[in-house]
Amino acid sequence: MARVTGSNNMKLLTKNTIWFLLIMLPLLAAGGIYLYHQFDKELKKEMDEELVNDQIQWLIYFNSIPDSSPVFRITTPEFSIHPAQGPADAQPFLKTIMQYQEVEHKEVPYRQLEQVIRIRERFYTLTIRKSLIEKDDLIKNIALVMALAFIGLLLFTILVNRLISRSIWRPFYQSLDKMEKLQLEQMHHLSFPDTSVTEFNRLNEVLLNATTRIYHDFVIMKELTEDAAHEMQTPLAIAQNRLELLLQDEALQPAQLRSIAQTHEALQRLSHLNHSLLFMAKIGNKQFVPAGNISIKAVLQKHLRLFEELIRDKDLLVSTDFSGDLSLLLHPILADTLISNLLGNAIKYNYPKGTITIQLTDQLFSICNTSEYPPIPATQLFQRFKKNASNLENSNGLGLAIVKKITDTNHLKIYYIHKEKEHHFIIRPDRHHH
Amino acid sequence: MNILIIEDEQALQESIAQYLGKQGYICEVAVNFREGIQKINDAEYECIIADIGLPYGSGLDIVKELKQIRSDAGIIIISAKDSLEDKLNGLGLGADDYLTKPFHLSELSARVNALLRRKHFGGNTSIIFQDIQVIPASKSVLVHQKPVELTAKEYQLLVYFIANQNRVITKSALASHLWGDEYDMAGSYDFIYSHIKNLRRKLMDAGAPDYIKTVYGTGYRFE
């Protein structure tokens, strides 16, 4: 049930924020640039007007001086007047130039007005300059304040957007959480609170209908499973018991007796098979709900006692290393089956005078047995009816499939290793489940 | 000894009655819940064998009825459902034993035998077969009054054989009696053979005749 987080997969809120940023950032940037240019233009216009005003003042001044005055020749960084060739310009020329400034020790921008003017039959070039450095500083300051305001606005909007989204989507996440934690057996207890959003109410209704239908099917399936057991076991019982009675007939020849015994045996296998398949279906339906933790050590010791004769019969050497006890949340029947199947296999597929090594710690249970049987191919390991020792009677090929089913449905992991003629199974809790 | 078999499956009911009849029990049958209730109220039985799924009612209700009329009959529940709840339910209501279908008739016979012994003699009686004396209380065996040392499995085998004397018992019935459901995991029948060989040798060493006959390809007969 791990949540997949890929490149095409992000949280709703994140996606929302990213889209918002993608749209808002260029918009704000374009707005900023436009405003900057407008400011710049306005200030230049202002500056030019000042220069023209200054020029007019100068002209009034020059024209007011008495006629006897000498030729004007003044040069300062901000003002200069020199005699020049005519004719006079009708309009002043305005442009931006770079000029060395003593105070700053560098080239700084100036706005310059230049015009050839006529003062009493003489022509002069009049140049008035104003430093742009203060104006640049001003624009920079304005831009900075503007940028800060924009960023603040953006952050605030994102925050508000997230808060609103979170509150609007809350019922959705609540439903999602409920569905995620939902277990088959508790499906009929499912209910969703009413929300103020029509779509969410619709979603909850659809979810409720779907789960009700699933639960209904599950109950039918469960009943069918048990009914099937009942319906099949009864005819099997009749057939088996009739054959057992028939065996008592003293008039029967040995060959006939043998046929009856074999038929009886086959029926017995059929009923075991039926039993195992139904058992697997029940595990799959999660009909074995654990009531508490089970000590695997106790289960192991019980089964070592149960299988004592079989172990002695094959002259197997069983070595146990119980350095801890694995405590598993498992239904007692499943715990019994798990250990019984694994230990049973370790005995069954062993050779006389072979060994079984069992290790138990707080983290894992491991069982290892010698065997002449070849390693089990990984693809067939836990498959139903894949017999790896088809010559063995009374093996229905379901033992490991049942073990796998138990581990899969109870948050356990099983590993199989084959090394130097030894089959090794390890079971440990799956720590990555939800 | 009177036994009432309450089972709606005709063939099954007949098989049980026939097998137990040959073991010396007097068997009555009922085919549904009503008939069952009527018969347990009309007569005394030492043992009742009741199926859970019956027409007109459940075998579990038969158990309740028996407890209500304070019957001291032994009760064995048989069911096609191998469900733990049913089993615990049945035993909780006061049934003495629970068997899941399909079962071996020899197993049922052994259970009836053990139940009646427990009920009527408090387990304080010994089982006698010719020159063999089995004392269930101490799980010991005497042959010609001399003790014979048997392992737990050999002892179980002997008691099973005596309960099913003169009957052919299949190897699979012996295996599931000795190992129960765990048997499915255990492999071939070789180990049964070795237990029987040891039991036979110990009995014969103590001076008993060879009671355990091998029925070729089928199983064994104790006679």
The answer to which of A109-113, A172-176, A283-287 has the lowest mean pLDDT is A283-287
Mean pLDDT of A396-402: 79
Query: What are the domain boundaries of chain B?
Result: 2-121, 127-222
Strand order through the sheet with B132-135: B127-129, B132-135, B140-143, B146-148
Q: Answer yes or no: do A238 and B12 touch at CB < 8 A.
A: yes
In chain A, whose CA is at the least distance from the CA of B168? A248
Residue A390 has what pLDDT? 45
**pLDDT (tens digit per residue) in A97-126:** 888 877 778 888 888 898 888 887 788 888
Mutate to test the interface with B, among A226, A248, A277, A373 (most CBs of B within 10 A): A248
Within a domain: A163? yes
Q: Could you identify the residue written with the tokens 């009677």?
A: A393
Residue A275 has what pLDDT? 83
Alpha-carbon distances of B37 from A107, B87, B97, B189, rounded to whole Å: 120, 21, 19, 43
Residues A307 and A362 placed together within one structural domain of the fold: yes
Mean pLDDT of A324-328: 91
The whole-angstrom distance between B184's CA and the closest CA on chain A is 6
Mean pLDDT of A153-179: 89
Residues A270 and A409 placed together within one structural domain of the fold: no
CATH class label, B2-121: alpha beta
List CB contacts (< 8 A) between B167 and chain A: 248
B2-121 against B127-222: fold identical? no
The answer to which of A184-193, B96-105, B205-214 has the lowest mean pLDDT is A184-193
Within a domain: A4? no
Average pLDDT, chain A: 85
Residues A423 and A384 placed together within one structural domain of the fold: yes
In chain B, whose CA is at the least distance from the CA of A332? B84
Alpha-carbon distances of A166 from A13, A179, A351, rounded to whole Å: 7, 19, 65
Name the pLDDT band for B16 (thresholds 50, 70, 90).
very high
C-alpha A240/C-alpha B104 separation (Å) is 8
Question: For residue B104, how far is the Cα from the chain centroid?
Answer: 9
- The domain total for chain A is 3
C-alpha A301/C-alpha A293 separation (Å) is 17
Mutate to test the interface with A, among B7, B185, B195, B222 (most CBs of A within 10 A): B185
Q: What is the CA radius of gyration of chain B?
A: 18
C-alpha A98/C-alpha A76 separation (Å) is 15
The answer to which of A127-136, B2-11, B28-37, B187-196 has the lowest mean pLDDT is B187-196
Q: Is the pLDDT of residue A155 over 50?
A: yes
Residues A22 and A133 placed together within one structural domain of the fold: yes
List CB contacts (< 8 A) between B83 and chain A: 226
List CB contacts (< 8 A) between B12 and chain A: 234, 237-238, 241
Q: Which domain holds residue A245?
A: 199-284
Residue B136 has what pLDDT? 86
Q: In this prediction, what percent of chain B has a pLDDT beyond 90?
A: 53
Within a domain: A320? yes
The whole-angstrom distance between A341's CA and the closest CA on chain B is 6
Q: Answer yes or no: do B102 and A240 touch at CB < 8 A.
A: yes
Look up residue A271 and give its two tokens: 């009923």
Q: Is the pLDDT of residue B17 over 50?
A: yes
Mapping DSSP to helix (H, G, I), strand (E, B) and coil, where does residue A235 land?
helix
Q: Answer yes or no: do B170 and A254 touch at CB < 8 A.
A: no
Q: Is the pTM of this model over 0.80?
A: no
Residues A154 and A233 placed together within one structural domain of the fold: no
List CB contacts (< 8 A) between A267 and chain B: 102
Q: Answer yes or no: do A313 and B82 touch at CB < 8 A.
A: no
Residues A91 and A223 placed together within one structural domain of the fold: no
Mutate to test the interface with B, among A226, A242, A245, A299 (most CBs of B within 10 A): A245
Residues A277 and A302 placed together within one structural domain of the fold: no
Beta strand extents in A241-364 (DSSP E only): 293-295, 317-322, 327-329, 355-360
Within a domain: A184? no
Residue A391 has what pLDDT? 44
Look up residue A202 and give its two tokens: 């619709």
**pLDDT (tens digit per residue) in B123-174:** 667 888 889 999 888 888 999 989 999 988 899 999 999 999 999 998 888 8
Out of A248, A261, A271, closest to residue B102 by CB: A271
Residue B37 has what pLDDT? 93
A386 compared with A39, residue with greater pLDDT:
A39
C-alpha A242/C-alpha A230 separation (Å) is 18
The whole-angstrom distance between B159's CA and the closest CA on chain A is 18
Within a domain: A2? no
Residues A49 and A136 placed together within one structural domain of the fold: yes
CATH class label, B127-222: mainly alpha
List CB contacts (< 8 A) between A240 and chain B: 102, 104
Name the pLDDT band for A12 (thresholds 50, 70, 90).
confident
Write a three-state SS string for chain B. CEEEEECCCHHHHHHHHHHHHHCCCEEEEECCHHHHHHHHHHCCCCEEEEECEECCEEHHHHHHHHHHCCCCCEEEEEECCCCHHHHHHHHHHCCCEEEECCCCHHHHHHHHHHHHHHHHHCCCCCEEECCEEEECCCCEEEECCEEECCCHHHHHHHHHHHHCCCCEEEHHHHHHHHHHHHHHHCCCCHHHHHHHHHHHHHHHHCCCCCCEEEECCCEEEEC
Out of B101, B167, B191, closest to residue A233 by CB: B101
Residues A116 and A233 placed together within one structural domain of the fold: no
Residues A332 and A399 placed together within one structural domain of the fold: yes
Cβ burial, residue A117 (10 Å; 0-12/13-18/19+): buried
C-alpha A288/C-alpha A227 separation (Å) is 18
Within a domain: A434? no
* Closest to B30 (Cα-Cα) out of B8, B14, B12: B8
Within a domain: A190? no
Residues A297 and A279 placed together within one structural domain of the fold: no
ipTM summary value: 0.88
Residues A256 and A163 placed together within one structural domain of the fold: no
Q: Is the pLDDT of residue A199 over 70?
A: yes
